[in-house]
């Protein structure tokens, strides 16, 4: 884990550093094309080979670790497969863990139009399950991935054993989320990058950390895809009445320091009937998905 010290505080950059590590590794270990799964799947996500699914003009990169009941891990905005290393390696001791790069991110196909995101990302998750012969799985989503997870459960509830919603942006409706996104979308469209976005979701981080982190992620991501995917995100805000009809077991979890996303977690916990809400006493939006407490809560959800 890479950290920087500022005065008396330590600021975790592990979530943002994983893609850099992965990029370095990719220079040494060439990506492998899709192949039949090996008899003994690797237990470390960063050691697993890249595999690919191509369907409906989109190419999705994914990795698999472990064996057992399937678990899908869906990353957040600006992220990729490698962000899930800690969670995947823990769950792989007892489960088959499948981790894709969502369209627009990592090594998956990029698109410049909002119409290519939103519910198309839900399509990809279900197509990947079909591709791998997975009838049903536990689904764990972080941030943007949490909203996609909720939509997978709404679209195909019988295919979701459980849903873990980690720091999801569950605004009251699509208009409310579009209003929140609007100033950050304008900054991206003007070529000003991700600084304003990360300043809002990481309010305790100083500019001396936010600015280089934003620049790093701008370099690692495709600009048009960043714009189009965030513009399409409001379309994925689930309808509360439809959520209220779900019977899929769920976990809604967030860190107390994740100030922008705590209300969304409390909101989805009111909507979803079979849900356990957890607000941790620590954790901001950058480190929440890697906290041992979150991994432990997800493992508890996965227990039969």
For residue 9, the cross-strand partners are 6
Of 11, 21, 76, 77, nearest to 44 (Cα)?
Answer: 21
Q: Which CATH superfamily is domain 10-170+238-302 in?
A: Alpha/Beta hydrolase fold, catalytic domain (3.40.50.1820)
Q: What is the pLDDT of residue 269?
A: 97
Q: Domain extents for the chain?
A: 10-170+238-302
Could you tell me the two tokens for 78? Answer: 């600006």
Q: What is the pLDDT of residue 56?
A: 83
Length of the chain: 304
- Distance (Å, whole) CA 244 – CA 241: 5
- Distance (Å, whole) CA 181 – CA 231: 8
pLDDT < 70 stretches in the chain: 1-42
Work out the number of other CB atoms within 10 angstroms of the CB of residue 20: 15
Q: What is the pLDDT of residue 304?
A: 72
Q: What is the pLDDT of residue 11?
A: 41
């Amino acid at each position: 884990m890479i950290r920087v010290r500022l005065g008396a505080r330590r600021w975790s950059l592990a979530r943002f550093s994983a893609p850099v590590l992965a990029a370095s590794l990719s220079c040494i270990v060439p990506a492998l094309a899709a192949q039949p799964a090996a008899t003994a799947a690797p237990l470390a996500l960063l050691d697993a080979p890249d595999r690919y699914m191509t369907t409906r003009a989109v190419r999705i990169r994914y990795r698999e670790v472990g064996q057992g009941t399937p678990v899908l891990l869906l990353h957040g905005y600006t992220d990729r497969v490698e962000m899930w290393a800690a969670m995947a390696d823990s769950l792989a001791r007892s489960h088959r863990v499948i981790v894709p790069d969502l369209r627009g991110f990592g090594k998956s196909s990029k698109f410049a139009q909002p119409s290519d995101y939103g519910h198309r990302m839900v399509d990809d998750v279900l197509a990947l399950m079909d591709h791998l012969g997975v009838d049903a799985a536990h689904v764990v989503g972080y941030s943007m991935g949490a909203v996609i997870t909720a939509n997978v459960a709404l679209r195909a509830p019988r295919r979701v054993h459980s849903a873990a919603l980690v720091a999801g942006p569950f605004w009251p409706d699509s208009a409310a989320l579009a209003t929140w996104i609007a100033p950050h979308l304008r900054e991206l469209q003007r070529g000003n990058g991700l600084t304003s976005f990360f300043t809002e979701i990481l309010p305790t981080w100083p500019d001396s950390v936010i600015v280089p982190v934003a620049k790093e992620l701008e370099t690692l991501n495709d600009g048009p895809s960043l714009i189009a995917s965030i513009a399409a995100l409001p379309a994925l805000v689930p309808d509360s009445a439809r959520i209220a009809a779900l019977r899929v077991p769920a976990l809604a979890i967030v860190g107390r320091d994740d100030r922008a996303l705590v209300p969304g977690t409390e909101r989805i916990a009111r909507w979803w009937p079979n849900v356990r809400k957890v607000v941790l006493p620590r954790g901001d939006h950058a480190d929440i998905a890697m906290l041992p407490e979150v991994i432990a809560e997800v493992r508890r959800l996965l227990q039969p």
